């Protein structure tokens, strides 16, 4: 009987059920794919709009097609041709958008093919000895029958399908039913080994073909395949967690400087094939000072570093001049140039020679007596101390600098000096010179090359604990007859080894995989060892050991993945590059692109034990490519024992070639050529709109203000570290803070002047300059001290800040200058106080202090000093009713005047005035005749003094001289040259002869010069011009310079500072409150000591909220 479907029945109930089922399927489909499709489409549109193509629709289609597996690229034919008596030629073809292409041509060694196909069923399997006898003519059809069509239609990045098909085409086990009988276990092992080699060789050639098809290197093809098959989104953060970071431009070189492969050379052999003690070298070991002597043996012709940019290095050295970088302060060290992040291009060639030489000196090939790892470390340490003593001493120094004791001592010294400076009445610090004090508390500066050379020569232990494990007893015994160790005892033994030998940086296979408590043991060991010691576990189970049920169980246990955090893995090289990539991709895919499971199971550190799989030497190129494509912090290659350095260099040819290619490609591009790579920083539009989107309600009021303040680099973007700067401050400093700085600078100058005078007197007393003094007189010796008195301490500080003469100073330069002058804020490890002062003077809020902005400190301090004067007047009026009564009371001897000593003693003694500086400033300000005494008339003036009226009078002075001389610049010249205005019989400044100008130029203005000049230009104000001078001479040196005179044009700075400071404080307060109390942020997995992590989280949240918005990205 026909069903309803067959007869076309229109059953309403069935239709409703079908419709509901269809809707459920749509909903499920949307849940899985909608978000990804929308993000993908938006990114493709954004890229097209950035590139501005002629035909945007064609460009969009191209962008979208790029997300089909490798743009729809698939293999087709695999042809085999005779190449000669000892070689075969293979040609790999592919289909690219329906077009056939010959992609790759390679030569295979005859013996590799012959041995590898021993187990091939077509035409028949054979013994290894029989296979080795086959000539090239017989091998061509044999290989063709196995591989000619085995990849037809397979996508170039479908690693699973490629791995399965290679495994099927090249069997590794003899099938007795196919006619091969009596094959011994040794024969079976040889066949398996030979088949694995051929698989690896074919995998490497297919990766080369994939790279050519995709117009990239084979390493980049591996990376793309891991991400593609692993289902990883193309967000930069996701990619970096699942694959190696991109290396496309100069800025990427800094990231890669410590990610290059490291080479480990076996030295001492244990009683198992795997147990070895090795010397490890990074590529930076090639540039160690002692490497030349070891490798070149003093012959310059046989040793030379191939720098990526010799001209840039020569320019860097020339820029340093005679300066010794090792003696510089941390803030003085120039920012590194891109070429400094590049090792020498022949680094691996040199390291191969260096490693072989060191291994020979340490006793390469000798046995490890009694399996005593500690004795082996001592033997290698003695060799290193003899061969590379300078390196050993530098490592010791760096370890001491990083130790907790050293850091604590530096902090204690800084705190003690800070307390002494603050408690000293004049900011003095014992008898120490500035230089002595600086050297005693400054943290040691670490140069870039010192960081790169750090741990560039180290020791590795391959313990092979599995061979020592007794499964029944659950103990470890490395030497027969010795007492076995429990797991806890063995872990303590490893900890003692690392404690006693700081160069032991890697322990491989410390526990047996058969140990039921291995996971807990590895976790305990990780907690016992320093972070810089890498722990490498045995290899992750191969693909053949993971059936679907096991993978599903692994996925379900992924929440426990962090149990292996900080533990790396040995890599199973026999899986081939495709197999290892597939293994990683499977773990990624199980988490839908989340890297947690893959990183937890495979770790971020790997050891590739080539010595254990020497037969794979012909296929090492693809293994190097796989390693460079993985997200590994360390990638170590444990080399087999080699006869000489030349053999080692031959083994590393592919790595050397790939290394050179990657360096040159990146260095040629100053900016990234990868269109998908987005800036990790935030532009102003992203910052403003991002804050709005995550819920900050004061975006319109303060976002742009905060951004301008935080953009310390001035490049129009905010990095995570720049955003975190806001945590250090609550807003700009107060006027009092600026005046305190002025006070401290005056004391600093006095201290230096006193030291200079003492030095001069000591030299005179010793008679060191007696002969010169008779010939030239004593005046020239005294003149520098006298002239120095006229120089404002503000100007001296500015010279410290503006070392390059650019006319502006960054926050780093500002802080360095304070530190150089031994100011407490410069010595304070907390940057906050120095930054708040910096904010006061950064009037334009552009991240720098220009010359004009800096000298505003003078006028801002002058304003605050008016407040000090008014405070003293109010104090006296409150105590005595009138200033006349106060003067009468103070002038006990009825002399009619008050000396400085009488005034200070009275105010600080009987009256107990709380602020000594207030009374000093008041005395200097009202001492109109600069006599050092106050008359009753001057004192009466204090009673009538009104700060607002005085400032208005200073403005009138400014307006008058601008009217007379057109601008303040010319007015200063006229004041200095004693010129009357043109309308009063003088001459124009521009017409002044050079000879006359030079006669007084640069002398500055004394108090009397200033008063005479005011009289000469006809100014008559409400207040005496001598008070105007005292106001401008905020440093109280009795002299004003050009910069201080020009501050007459900045009289509105105080009002501007008050307004901007209040606004900035509100901005910072509201943003901090939002971040710490309201914002929903993703917390890091590790427990944090404080809440500083929230700033990095905010930065990420802002990027996530805006990265797909084209309007914001185009800023």
pLDDT beyond 50 at 4 = no
pLDDT beyond 50 at 385 = yes
What is the distance between the alpha carbons of residues 365 and 362, in angstroms, rounded to a whole number?
9
pLDDT at 510: 96
CB neighbourhood size of 918 (10 A): 19
Which residues are within 8 A (CB) of 435 and not within 5 positions of it... i.e. 6 or more apart?
none
pLDDT at 23: 76
Average pLDDT over residues 718-737: 83
CB neighbourhood size of 891 (10 A): 17
Are 501 and 381 contacting, i.e. CB atoms less than 8 angstroms apart? yes
pLDDT at 443: 56
pLDDT at 984: 80
pLDDT: which is higher, 83 or 437:
83
Burial class (CB in 10 A: 0-12, 13-18, 19+), 491: buried
What is the distance between the alpha carbons of residues 5 and 496, in angstroms, rounded to a whole number?
77
- Quote the DSSP letter at residue 506: E
Strand pairing class (634-638; 262-269): parallel
1029 is written with which tokens? 């001078």
pLDDT beyond 60 at 343 = yes
pLDDT at 485: 93
Q: What pTM does this model have?
A: 0.69
pLDDT: which is higher, 712 or 276:
276
478 is written with which tokens? 């490395």
| Chain segment 1033-1060, per-residue pLDDT in tens | 877 777 888 888 888 888 877 777 777 7
pLDDT at 752: 81
Reduce the DSSP state of residue 1005 to 3 states and report it.
strand
pLDDT beyond 90 at 731 = no
* 466 pLDDT tier (thresholds 50, 70, 90): very high
* 484 pLDDT tier (thresholds 50, 70, 90): very high
* 89 pLDDT tier (thresholds 50, 70, 90): very high
| Chain segment 209-248, per-residue pLDDT in tens | 998 888 788 998 999 888 888 877 766 667 777 889 888 8
pLDDT beyond 80 at 99 = no
Least confident of 71-75, 80-84, 359-363, 541-545: 541-545
Are 490 and 507 contacting, i.e. CB atoms less than 8 angstroms apart? no
pLDDT at 436: 40
pLDDT at 487: 94
pLDDT: which is higher, 977 or 290:
290
Average pLDDT over residues 81-97: 87
Which residues are within 8 A (CB) of 678 and not within 5 positions of it... i.e. 6 or more apart?
236, 1107, 1113
pLDDT beyond 80 at 473 = yes
pLDDT: which is higher, 907 or 392:
392
* 362 pLDDT tier (thresholds 50, 70, 90): very high
pLDDT beyond 80 at 648 = yes
pLDDT at 557: 46
pLDDT at 771: 52
* 796 pLDDT tier (thresholds 50, 70, 90): confident
pLDDT at 64: 67
Average pLDDT over residues 115-131: 84
What is the distance between the alpha carbons of residues 262 and 253, in angstroms, rounded to a whole number?
17
What is the distance between the alpha carbons of residues 957 and 968, in angstroms, rounded to a whole number?
11
Average pLDDT over residues 450-474: 94
Average pLDDT over residues 786-812: 75
Reference 812, options 451, 442, 329; nearest CA is: 329
pLDDT beyond 50 at 424 = yes
Burial string for 1060-1075 (b: 16+ CB within 10 Å, else e) reads bbeebeebbebbbebb
Which percentage of the chain shows pLDDT scores above 90?
24
Average pLDDT over residues 495-504: 94
pLDDT beyond 90 at 198 = yes
pLDDT at 1058: 76
| Chain segment 172-190, per-residue pLDDT in tens | 887 655 455 566 788 888 8
pLDDT at 673: 52
* 1 pLDDT tier (thresholds 50, 70, 90): very low
CB neighbourhood size of 603 (10 A): 23
pLDDT: which is higher, 572 or 680:
572
What is the distance between the alpha carbons of residues 866 and 946, in angstroms, rounded to a whole number?
9
Chain length of the chain: 1115
pLDDT: which is higher, 591 or 641:
641
Highest average pLDDT, of 98-102, 289-293, 548-552, 975-979, comes from 289-293
pLDDT beyond 80 at 776 = no
What's the mean pLDDT when you consider all of the chain? 81
What is the distance between the alpha carbons of residues 646 and 353, in angstroms, rounded to a whole number?
8
CA 163 from chain centre, in angstroms, equals 39
pLDDT at 811: 83
Peptide bond into 123 cis (omega under 30): yes
pLDDT at 790: 58
* 555 pLDDT tier (thresholds 50, 70, 90): very low
pLDDT beyond 70 at 439 = no
pLDDT beyond 60 at 670 = yes
Least confident of 51-65, 333-347, 436-450: 436-450
* 506 pLDDT tier (thresholds 50, 70, 90): very high
What is the distance between the alpha carbons of residues 782 and 790, in angstroms, rounded to a whole number?
14
What is the distance between the alpha carbons of residues 278 and 280, in angstroms, rounded to a whole number?
6
What is the distance between the alpha carbons of residues 574 and 617, in angstroms, rounded to a whole number?
11
For the sheet with 73-84, list strands across it. 73-84, 87-96, 99-109
pLDDT at 993: 67
pLDDT at 2: 43
| Chain segment 1052-1090, per-residue pLDDT in tens | 777 777 777 888 889 889 998 998 888 888 777 667 777
User: What is the 3-state secondary structure of 1012-1046?
Assistant: HHHHHCCCCCCCCHHHHHHHHCCCCCCEECHHHHH
Which percentage of the chain shows pLDDT scores above 70?
82
Which residues are within 8 A (CB) of 535 and not within 5 positions of it... i.e. 6 or more apart?
507, 510, 522, 525, 526, 529, 566, 567, 568, 605
pLDDT: which is higher, 131 or 845:
131
Average pLDDT over residues 817-821: 82
């Amino acid at each position: 009987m026909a069903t309803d479907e067959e007869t076309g029945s229109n059953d309403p109930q069935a239709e409703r059920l079908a419709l509901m089922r269809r809707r459920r399927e749509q909903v499920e489909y949307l849940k899985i794919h909608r978000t990804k499709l929308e993000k993908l489409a938006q990114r493709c549109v954004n890229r097209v709009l950035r590139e501005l193509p002629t035909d945007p629709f064609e460009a969009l289609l191209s962008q979208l097609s790029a997300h089909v597996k490798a743009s729809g690229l698939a293999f087709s034919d695999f042809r085999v041709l005779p190449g000669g008596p000892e070689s075969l030629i293979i040609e790999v073809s592919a289909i690219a958008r329906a077009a056939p292409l010959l992609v790759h041509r390679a030569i295979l060694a005859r013996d590799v093919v012959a041995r590898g196909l021993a187990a091939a069923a077509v035409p028949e399997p054979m013994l290894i000895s029989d296979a080795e006898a086959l000539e090239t003519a017989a091998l061509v059809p044999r290989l063709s029958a196995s591989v000619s069509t085995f990849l037809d239609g397979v996508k170039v990045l479908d690693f699973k399908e490629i791995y399965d098909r290679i495994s099927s085409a090249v069997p590794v086990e003899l099938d007795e039913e196919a006619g091969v009988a009596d094959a011994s276990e040794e024969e079976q092992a040889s066949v398996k080994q030979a088949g694995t080699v051929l698989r690896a060789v074919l995998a490497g050639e297919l990766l080369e073909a994939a790279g050519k098809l995709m117009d990239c290197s084979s390493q980049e093809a591996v990376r793309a395949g891991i991400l593609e098959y692993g289902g990883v989104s193309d967000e930069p953060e996701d990619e970096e967690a699942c694959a190696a970071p991109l290396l496309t431009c100069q800025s990427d070189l800094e990231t890669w400087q410590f990610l290059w492969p490291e080479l480990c050379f076996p030295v001492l052999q244990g009683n198992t094939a795997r147990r070895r003690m090795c010397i490890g070298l990074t590529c930076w070991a090639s540039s160690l000072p002692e490497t030349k002597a070891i490798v070149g043996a003093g012959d310059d012709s046989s040793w030379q570093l191939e720098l990526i940019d010799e001209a840039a290095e020569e320019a860097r050295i020339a820029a340093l001049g005679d300066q010794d970088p090792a003696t510089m302060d941390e803030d003085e060290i120039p920012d590194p140039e891109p070429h400094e992040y590049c090792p020498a291009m022949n680094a691996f060639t040199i390291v191969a020679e260096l490693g072989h030489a060191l291994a020979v000196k340490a006793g390469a090939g000798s046995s490890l007596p009694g399996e005593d790892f500690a004795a082996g470390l001592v033997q290698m340490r003695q060799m290193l101390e003899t061969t590379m003593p300078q390196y050993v001493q530098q490592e010791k120094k760096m370890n001491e600098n990083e130790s907790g004791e050293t850091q604590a001592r530096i902090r204690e010294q800084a705190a003690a000096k800070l307390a002494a400076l603050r408690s000293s009445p004049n900011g003095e610090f014992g008898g120490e010179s500035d230089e002595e004090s600086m050297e005693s508390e400054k943290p040691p500066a670490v140069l870039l090359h010192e960081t790169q050379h750090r741990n560039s020569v180290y020791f590795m232990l391959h313990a092979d604990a599995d061979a020592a494990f007794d499964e029944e007893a659950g103990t470890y015994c490395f030497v027969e007859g010795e007492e076995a160790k429990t797991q806890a005892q063995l872990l303590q033994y490893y900890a003692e080894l690392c404690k006693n030998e700081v160069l032991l940086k890697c322990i491989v296979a410390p526990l047996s995989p058969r140990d039921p408590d291995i996971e807990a043991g590895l976790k305990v060991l990780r907690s016992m060892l320093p972070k810089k010691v890498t722990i490498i576990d045995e290899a992750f189970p191969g693909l053949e050991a993971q059936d679907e049920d096991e993978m599903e169980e692994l996925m379900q246990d992924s929440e426990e993945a962090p149990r292996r955090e900080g533990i790396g893995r040995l890599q199973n090289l026999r899986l081939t590059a495709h197999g290892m990539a597939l293994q990683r991709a499977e773990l990624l895919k199980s988490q839908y692109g989340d890297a947690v499971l893959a990183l937890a199971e495979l770790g971020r550190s790997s050891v590739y034990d080539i010595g254990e799989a020497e037969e794979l030497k012909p296929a090492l190129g693809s293994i190097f490519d796989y390693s460079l494509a993985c997200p590994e912090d360390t990638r170590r290659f444990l080399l087999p024992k080699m006869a000489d350095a030349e053999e080692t260099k031959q083994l590393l040819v592919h790595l050397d070639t790939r290394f050179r290619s990657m360096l040159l490609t990146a260095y040629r591009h100053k900016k990234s050529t990868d269109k998908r790579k987005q800036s990790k920083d935030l532009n102003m539009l992203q910052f403003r709109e991002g804050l709005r989107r995550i819920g900050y309600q004061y975006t319109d009021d303060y976002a742009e203000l905060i951004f301008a303040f935080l953009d310390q680099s001035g490049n129009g973007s905010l990095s995570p570290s720049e955003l975190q700067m806001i945590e250090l401050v609550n807003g700009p400093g107060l006027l009092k803070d600026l005046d305190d700085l002025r006070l401290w600078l005056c004391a600093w100058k006095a201290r230096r002047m006193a030291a200079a005078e003492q030095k001069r007197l000591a030299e005179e007393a010793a008679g060191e300059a007696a002969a010169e003094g008779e010939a030239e007189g004593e005046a020239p010796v005294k003149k520098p001290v006298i002239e120095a008195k006229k120089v404002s301490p503000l100007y001296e500080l500015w010279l410290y800040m503006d070392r390059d003469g650019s006319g502006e100073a960054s926050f780093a330069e500002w802080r360095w200058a304070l530190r150089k002058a031994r100011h407490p804020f410069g010595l304070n490890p907390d940057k906050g106080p120095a930054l708040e002062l910096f904010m006061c003077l950064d009037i334009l809020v552009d991240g720098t202090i220009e010359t004009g902005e800096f000298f505003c400190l003078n006028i801002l301090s002058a304003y605050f000093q008016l407040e000090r004067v008014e405070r003293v007047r109010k104090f006296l009026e409150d105590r005595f009713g009138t200033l006349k009564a106060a003067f009468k009371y103070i002038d006990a001897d009825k002399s009619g005047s008050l000396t400085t000593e009488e005034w200070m003693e009275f105010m600080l003694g009987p009256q107990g005035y709380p602020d000594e500086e207030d009374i000093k400033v008041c005395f200097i300000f009202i001492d109109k005749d600069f006599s050092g005494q106050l008359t009753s008339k001057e004192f009466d003036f204090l009673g009538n003094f009104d700060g607002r009226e005085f400032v208005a009078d200073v403005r009138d002075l400014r307006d008058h001289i601008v009217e007379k001389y057109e601008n303040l610049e010319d007015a200063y010249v006229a004041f200095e040259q004693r010129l009357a205005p043109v309308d009063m019989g003088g001459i124009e400044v521009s017409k002044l002869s050079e000879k006359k100008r030079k006669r007084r130029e640069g002398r500055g203005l004394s108090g009397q010069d200033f008063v005479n000049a005011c009289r000469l230009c006809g100014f008559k104000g409400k207040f005496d011009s001598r008070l105007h001078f005292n106001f401008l001479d905020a440093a109280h040196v009795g002299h004003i310079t050009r910069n201080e005179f020009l501050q007459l044009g900045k009289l509105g700075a105080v009002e501007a500072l008050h307004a901007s400071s209040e606004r900035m404080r509100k901005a910072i307060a509201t943003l901090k409150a939002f971040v710490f109390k309201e914002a929903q942020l993703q917390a890091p997995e590790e427990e944090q000591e404080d809440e500083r992590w929230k700033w990095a989280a905010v930065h990420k949240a802002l990027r996530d909220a805006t990265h797909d918005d084209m309007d914001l990205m185009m800023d």
